[in-house]
């Protein structure tokens, strides 16, 4: 058992269930640690929620998206583990940002609590939630995969571009988020290893030729380079364009990063 981690989690105010997952402590041990530290734990009725219910409201989606943007920059392998240290760091950043937007006040009805932030990170790992980017205002936001209709929480996501707009170079080539494309590039590798053809992979994953080509280029990136991509690009569209811009001479990551 990691005593110092347990103390940190208790002080941050996580629910007992979450503390137990990360420390292997029993409910009793958590209770007595709280007592020793003079901490009153949060009220804990019922099971932990899931991200789908947390993201039911537009305001909540916006708050959760602010948290996730910070979390995905900080977390180590967010698709395979819940990085609880990163949850705390990202939540603290998110809290500052939330308050700064409201003259130092908290919007108590909508602020994302630490337990809920953890749930979003957990459901991102289990692929119950994913990041999407708005084709209108280009922000990235978190969505539950169980909801068929995803509206942008900021502009309500009119997903249709100006129909008189005909600048070819400016046309969106991907509506996916950067994180989604990175995830897809892993799947492309996997499916290719299983012997599927590019056409079959595109069809199965529902990706365009350009997204497929971009995913293929991402396969050569190391983890730190992928992190660099996440830090640098705000939308999958801009990443795909950068990846496909010029494929001669220099290695692709040095042009993109």
H or E element that contains 133 = strand 129-133
Q: Which of 82, 121, 152, 218 binds Zn ion (CB under 5 A)?
A: 152
Shortest CB 55 distance to Zn ion, Å = 16
**Which residue, 130 or 227, has its beta carbon nearer to Zn ion?**
130
- Decide if residue 182 touches Zn ion (CB under 5 A): no
- Decide if residue 131 touches Zn ion (CB under 5 A): no
**Residue 173 corresponds to which tokens in the numbers above?**
């080539």
Q: Which stretch binds Zn ion (CB under 5 A): 63-71, 129-137, 176-184, 235-243?
A: 129-137
The answer to whether residues 22 and 83 touch, using CB atoms and an 8 Å cutoff, is: no
CA atoms within 13 A on the CB side of 44: 16
Q: Which stretch binds Zn ion (CB under 5 A): 126-134, 161-169, 183-191, 234-242?
A: 126-134
Backbone angles phi, psi at 143, to 5 degrees: -135, 155
Q: Which of 5, 21, 151, 154 binds Zn ion (CB under 5 A)?
A: 154
**Residue 228 corresponds to which tokens in the numbers above?**
């660099």
- Decide if residue 134 touches Zn ion (CB under 5 A): yes
First to last CA, the chain: 40
Shortest CB 96 distance to Zn ion, Å = 23
Please report, as ranges, the residues that interact with Zn ion according to CB under 5 A.
134, 136-137, 152, 154-155
């Amino acid at each position: 058992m990691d005593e110092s981690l347990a103390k940190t989690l208790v002080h941050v105010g996580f629910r007992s269930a979450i503390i137990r997952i990360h420390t292997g402590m029993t409910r009793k041990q958590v209770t007595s640690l709280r007592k020793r530290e003079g901490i009153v734990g949060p009220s804990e009725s019922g099971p932990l929620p899931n991200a789908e219910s947390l993201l039911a409201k537009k305001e909540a989606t916006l708050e959760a998206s602010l948290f996730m943007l910070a979390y995905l920059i900080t977390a180590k392998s967010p698709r395979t583990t819940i990085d609880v240290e990163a949850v705390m760091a990202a939540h603290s950043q998110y809290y500052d940002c939330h308050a700064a937007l409201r003259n130092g006040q908290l919007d108590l009805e909508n602020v994302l609590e630490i337990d809920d932030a953890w749930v979003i990170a957990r459901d991102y790992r289990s692929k119950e939630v994913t990041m999407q980017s708005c084709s209108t205002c280009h922000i990235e936001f978190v969505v539950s995969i169980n909801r068929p209709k995803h509206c942008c929480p900021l502009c309500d996501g009119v997903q249709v571009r100006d129909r008189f707009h005909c600048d070819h170079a400016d046309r969106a080539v991907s509506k996916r988020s950067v994180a989604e494309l990175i995830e897809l590039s892993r799947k492309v590798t996997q499916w290719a290893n299983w012997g599927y053809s590019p056409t079959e992979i595109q069809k199965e994953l529902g990706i365009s030729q350009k997204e497929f080509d971009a995913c293929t280029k991402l396969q050569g990136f190391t983890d730190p380079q992928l992190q660099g991509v996440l830090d640098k690009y705000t939308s999958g569209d801009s990443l795909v364009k950068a990846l496909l811009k010029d494929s001669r001479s220099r290695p692709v990551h040095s042009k993109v990063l």
